[in-house]
């Protein structure tokens, strides 16, 4: 399996798909969502408006669009949970986001996908708790999907990258 953790801007990543941490309207927002829409151009919003008319994307689910002006061929939009203290099934819902994304990766025969750190920005999910969930789901996808060649997690800041690197070490060498 080829898992890469990098620091950078996900809108610059050339992959079969990049993942957007969207909101359930799919009509754009701040953070990585805003950056992806700015870089993809207005055609992305047009396609998202059509998905909005069909109900948008409920929390924990995912929807796929084209990538338009992005170097990535597709965008897979998923809606992470808003952190409400940890007793509202936030961890299970976050895991479901990753599963929903990989179901679309499988259905569309994609071989490479790049993720941001879903829910850990505006939605307030503690990144130290999100990182092991993300990495466990990515490892499970590698085990399940022979087509999958490369998964990149793109962290926006170097402290975030360090959290993911530490979580990966702890997953590979459990006490």
- Residue 46 annotated as catalytic: no
Distances 75 to 91, 102, 118, 143, 149 between C-alpha atoms, Å:
23, 12, 14, 23, 17
Directed axis angle between helix 90-107 and helix 127-144, to 10°? Answer: 30
Least distance from ligand ADP to the Cβ atom of residue 118, Å: 5
> How far, in Å, CA of 4 to CA of 154, rounded?
8
What does the alpha-carbon distance between residue 151 and residue 138 come to, in Å, rounded to a whole number? 8
Q: What's the closest the beta carbon of residue 133 comes to ligand ADP, in angstroms?
A: 13
x/- map, 40-79, ligand ADP, by CB under 6 A: ----------------------------------------
Q: Which stretch binds ligand ADP (CB under 6 A): 45-53, 54-62, 116-124, 135-143?
A: 116-124
Using DSSP's 3-state secondary structure scheme, residue 22 falls into: coil
Binding mask 121-140 for ligand ADP (x = CB under 6 A): xxx-----------------
Give contact residues for ligand ADP (rule: CB under 6 A).
Answer: 9-11, 21, 31-33, 35, 80, 116-123, 154, 156, 160
């Amino acid at each position: 399996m080829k898992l890469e953790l990098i620091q950078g801007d996900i809108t610059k990543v050339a992959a079969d798909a990049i993942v957007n941490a969207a909101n359930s309207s799919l009509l754009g927002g701040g953070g990585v969502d805003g950056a992806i829409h700015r870089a993809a151009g207005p055609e992305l919003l047009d396609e998202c408006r059509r998905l909005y008319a069909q109900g948008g994307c409920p929390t924990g689910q995912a929807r796929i669009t084209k990538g338009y002006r992005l170097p990535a061929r597709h965008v897979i939009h998923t809606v992470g949970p808003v952190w409400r203290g940890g007793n509202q099934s936030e961890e299970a819902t976050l895991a479901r986001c990753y599963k929903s994304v990989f179901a679309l990766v499988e259905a569309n025969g994609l071989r490479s996908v790049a993720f941001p750190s879903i829910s850990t920005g505006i939605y307030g999910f503690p990144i130290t708790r999100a990182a092991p969930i993300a990495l466990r789901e990515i490892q499970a996808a590698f085990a399940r999907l022979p087509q999958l060649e490369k998964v990149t997690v793109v962290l926006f800041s170097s402290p975030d990258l360090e959290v993911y690197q530490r979580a990966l070490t702890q997953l590979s060498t459990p006490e």
